[in-house]
Amino acid sequence: MTKSVLTTSAGAPVADDNNSISAGARGPLTFDNFQLFEKLAHFSRERIPERVVHARGAGAYGTFTLSKSLSPYTRASFLQSAGQKTDIFLRFSTVGGGQDSSDFARDPRGFAVKFYTDEGNFDLVGNNTPVFFLNDPMKFPDFVHSQKKNPKTNLPDPARIFEYWANHPQSLHQMTILMSDRGIPRSWRHINGYGSHTFGLWNAEGERYWVKWHFKTDQGIQCLSNEEAASMPPQGAQQDLVDAIDRGDFPSWTVKVQILTEKAARTFPINPFDLTKVWPHELAPLQEIGRLELNRNVENYFAETEQASFAPSNLVPGISASPDKMLQARLIAYQDAQRYRVGVNHNQIPVNAPRCPVNHYQRDGAMAGTTAENQGSGINFYPNDASDLPAPSAEFAAPPLPLLEEAWVKPHSQDDEDYFEQAGNLYRIFAAKEKDRLAKTIAGGLCHAEASVQERMLIYLEKADPDYADRVRRAVNGLTTLSG
Ligand code: NDP
């Protein structure tokens, strides 16, 4: 087989790729080294800004197979008939660390699924936890600053982490999950995924329902202790995923939903749009609706996983957002982040490109035409007088959402919510030994915090469950001698 000829990126054949051009064997380089300049200039631009959160991740392609029609609840085209298959891309991630941090931090895990449906991409940009640390997006930058490295030492700083939590009782539920035995997953394959937010579903009759998505790992939950995690190779979870898919051991998740009618949501005993809370299974049972399988590794990590651009605003007809304040803010923040990080035309990159026709009047911007030729000579404005060009269609309008209270425009605090009961419910599920390990893990960080931070945390724990506070108090004081 003959080798193809090396070329520049403009396609011109290259004669020598080992030696730069110089004025004599020992002389300086000359300006006609354009091939060298291209190599160095491209090399300098090989990185795009890494994600501020969820920087370290791994992704793979797969298939979502619907086992039960959701047509009574939604007109979403990929949720209509049992047996329907939809291609997906899933990116797992840790949250706090940079690109080259360990896969085995005690940290939530991102679980972001892009469904390539025939009516556009639906991105469910979730986590491995059903709840989150906050329920108002105003807090998000402060929260992330407090959990990341100390700005002076560039080292993890448990005192700052707990100082944030002591000022935000709404974090207690997620903090309990994070500090529990499930805080350090063994691999990407052994975690559950949750859409976490409440989303809307609307059917062909224009009736709206509220939904929560759950992806239960078929591999079983597996986690590591702090000691086990410390001895793992930093990229171990990525290796595990790549190897499993390469050997045909395709990981899968059973997909379930909880659904509430709009009417039931109005009288639900908890705020159904508060991201710090689950919908108790007893009140909203899980319904199995399908299976998600990963079956193809990426060919090029940068092009696919690094440039994968998820956005909760990627919704399809039949699925809507909800009044969840965190989701509302993510509708703008994620697209904005992708425009900054990858570029305004990120949806033209193959991993992000819809697998259905794209018809719009957007034009130009950096890298326009990567895959779509910038829509050639076609008309670039709407409305226009052409009969065959894209036009909106009212059939895709989501039903209007009524406001259920006198809608005063002002900052509304959610702090009259009960932030403690569900943390306590989870605590009470744990076996005695798990409670001890939880207390020890919390104490390991809390002992670095100021006394006033410790006191506030203990007050919150007391409200969740007096035994929870008691165990943590004893662990902070002695860091040993725990009882069952
Ligand atoms: P249930 O008894 O019906 O459900 C308990 C849930 O807890 C199960 O989904 C189980 O997940 C999960 N779980 C068990 N151990 C842990 C752990 N160490 N970390 C995180 N989750 C765990 O009770 P409720 O629905 O009333 O919920 C009680 C508490 O369970 C909640 O306050 C919440 O903290 C937690 N939870 C609830 C979920 C929900 O959607 N209702 C989802 C996940 C957690 P699995 O089946 O995977 O073992």
Choice among 121, 127, 135, 271 that is catalytic: 127
pLDDT digits 0-9 by tens, 312-323:
999 999 999 999
Would the CA dihedral through 120, 125, 130, 131 be positive or negative?
negative
Give the pLDDT of residue 376: 87
According to CATH, the superfamily of the domain at 28-148+186-356 is Catalase core domain (2.40.180.10)
Q: Which atom of ligand 1 is nearest to the CA of 421?
A: 32
The contacts of residue 77 (CB under 8 Å, 6+ apart) are 117, 118, 119, 316, 317, 318
Decide if 54 is catalytic: yes
Choice among 18, 33, 42, 54 that is catalytic: 54
**The two structure tokens encoding residue 475:** 């662990």
Closest by CA position to 346, among listed 123, 77, 85: 123
pLDDT digits 0-9 by tens, 238-250:
999 999 999 999 9
The domain spans of the chain are 28-148+186-356
404: confidence class by pLDDT, cuts 50, 70, 90: confident
Q: Which atom of ligand 1 is nearest to the CA of 180?
A: 18
Give ligand 1 pocket residues (Cβ under 6 A). Answer: 130, 177, 180-182, 192, 216, 221, 278-282, 422, 425-426, 429
Which residues, in sequence order, are bridge partners of residue 214? 194, 256
Q: Which atom of ligand 1 is nearest to the CA of 434?
A: 18
Amino acid letter, residue 276: T
**Which whole number is the average pLDDT over 432-447?**
97
Whether 484 has a pLDDT exceeding 80, the answer reads: no
Give the pLDDT of residue 478: 85
Give the pLDDT of residue 479: 64
Give the pLDDT of residue 482: 45
pLDDT digits 0-9 by tens, 125-136:
999 999 999 999
Whether 308 has a pLDDT exceeding 60, the answer reads: yes
Nearest residue (by CA) to ligand 1, atom 27, is 280
Give the pLDDT of residue 153: 97
Whether 481 has a pLDDT exceeding 50, the answer reads: no
Amino acid letter, residue 100: D
pLDDT digits 0-9 by tens, 103-156:
999 999 999 999 999 999 999 999 999 999 999 999 999 999 999 999 999 999
**CA-only gyration radius of the chain, Å:** 25
Distance from Cα 265 to the centre of ligand 1, integer Å: 20
Decide if 127 is catalytic: yes
The contacts of residue 4 (CB under 8 Å, 6+ apart) are none
Closest by CA position to 124, among listed 310, 266, 307: 310
* pTM value surpassing 0.75: yes
Give the pLDDT of residue 483: 40
Tell me if 454 sits within 8 A of 476, measured CB to CB: yes
Distance from Cα 438 to the centre of ligand 1, integer Å: 16
Mutate to test the pocket of ligand 1, among 278, 419, 420 (most ligand atoms within 8 A of CB): 278
Give the pLDDT of residue 189: 98
Angle, CA 63 vertex, CA 56 and CA 210 arms, to 5°: 85
